[in-house]
Amino acid sequence: MHTTVVDHLRRVEVFSGLNDQELLQVAATCKARRLGAGEVVFREGDEGDDMMVILEGCVRVTITTRLPDGTITPNTINMLYAGQSFGEMVLLGGATRSATVSCVDPCTLLVIKEHDFAELCERNPRIGYRVMRNLASDLVYKLRSSNLLLRGNIRWQHDELGRRH
């Protein structure tokens, strides 16, 4: 099974730059999880200690937003497919989940526990270095994209006296 898992991990951006021997070590930490269409992988605000790689299927990533009228609604921010990962932020120190992820199709996920990954990185610091570098690069891209989006959408708010703030 590990060689098949290595083939999938090779396509995952967060593991870019790892050689087959290193990917085999990562594969040894993975556990498979199967979920049906419509099942929730985790919810925004949940505590989490694992990241996931999609082997089969598609997941929807949603965040809760408040509309101008005060209504709270879920908004889809991404759809992820086989070869993509989610929940990687847990590798940077855990925290609460920033979005809800649910299965659109029946899914097979590879689950990597933060604790298991941290132990692997202690044994092989090069794996930790490559993954952290890839995560940092991805976060920089997302931060820049968000900043550009916000700059285009920010509107100066006026109070009842017409003052900008």
Each domain of the chain, given as residue ranges in start order, spans 2-114+122-140
What class has domain 2-114+122-140? mainly beta
Strand order in the sheet with 50-56: 30-35, 107-113, 50-56, 85-86
* Dihedral-angle region of residue 146 (phi above 0 means left; psi in -120 to 50 means alpha; beta otherwise): alpha
% of the chain with per-residue pLDDT over 90 = 56
Average pLDDT on 105-117 reads: 95
pLDDT-derived band of residue 163, with 50, 70 and 90 as boundaries? very low
Query: Residue 105 and residue 83: Cα distance in Å, rounded?
Result: 15
Tracing tokens 């132990």 back to the chain, one arrives at 119
Q: Which residues pair with 63 in a beta bridge?
A: 75
pLDDT at 94: 65
State the CB neighbour count (10 A cutoff) for residue 123: 9
pLDDT at 147: 67
Contacts of 117 (CB under 8 A, 6+ apart): 26, 29, 51, 91, 131
pLDDT-derived band of residue 39, with 50, 70 and 90 as boundaries? very high
Is the pLDDT score of 144 beyond 80? no
**23 against 65, higher pLDDT:** 23
Query: Residue 22 and residue 29: Cα distance in Å, rounded?
Result: 11
pLDDT at 162: 47
